[in-house]
Copies of this chain bind each other. A is one copy, B any other.
Amino acid sequence: MDQRAPIDFLKVDQSSEWDQDNCPVRSVMAPISGKWSTLLLHALSERPYRFGELRRLVPDISQRMLTQTLRDLQRDGYVNRTVFPTKPPSVEYSMTPLGHSLFSRLYLVIEWSVQNHASVLEARQAFDEAETSA
């Protein structure tokens, strides 16, 4: 059904050289699996935003997590942070080419989740009802 090249991170038992902390998939996926990463990547894929704009765009994020998530995204090279020496200072976050490259793939999953949300909810409900009746 799927035609894909094999991936090393599953061949744990065969490869004695394998280091779980250096697995490319875990290394890349884990930092963008946070609660807010996808949300912020999606926003910045659209256009650059200032810190306060992002806060208003995602009202239920704490400023602590906004700062931290943006830092993580910047650290992995997905986002640029530009400080303008105005008074008071303003900071703009923009997506790098690497970020756009990643997001072009990630967006397909986002799109899928919107299109198939109903099917997932249906399966979830059926599962829960089967559990309850048991």
The answer to whether A90 has its CB under 8 Å from any CB of chain B is no
Q: Are A123 and B12 in contact (CB under 8 A)?
A: no
Q: Is the CB of A10 within 8 A of B39?
A: yes
- Interface contact A43-B77, CB-CB below 8 Å: no
The reply to whether A110 and B60 contact each other, CB–CB distance below 8 Å, is: no
Is B109 touching A109 in the complex (CB atoms < 8 A)? yes
Within 8 A of B (CB), among A87-122: 98, 100-114, 116-117, 119-122
A29, A35, A104 — which one has the most chain B CB atoms within 10 A of its CB?
A: A29
Any chain B CB within 8 A of the CB of A17? no
Total contacting residues, chain A, CB less than 8 A: 60
Within 8 Å by CB of A114, from B25, B59, B103, B117, lies B25
Known: A7-B114, A39-B10. A27 touches B57 (CB 8 A): no
A38 partner residues in chain B, CB cutoff 8 A: 25, 29
Separation in Å of the A56 CB from the closest CB of chain B?
Answer: 6
When chains A and B are docked, how far (Å) is the Cα of A9 from the Cα of B109? 14
Q: How far is the CB of A18 from chain B (nearest CB, A)?
A: 10
| Residue interface bits A1-15, CB-to-B below 8 A is 1, else 0 | 110110101101100
Q: Within 8 Å CB of A113, what residues of B?
A: 24-25, 27-29
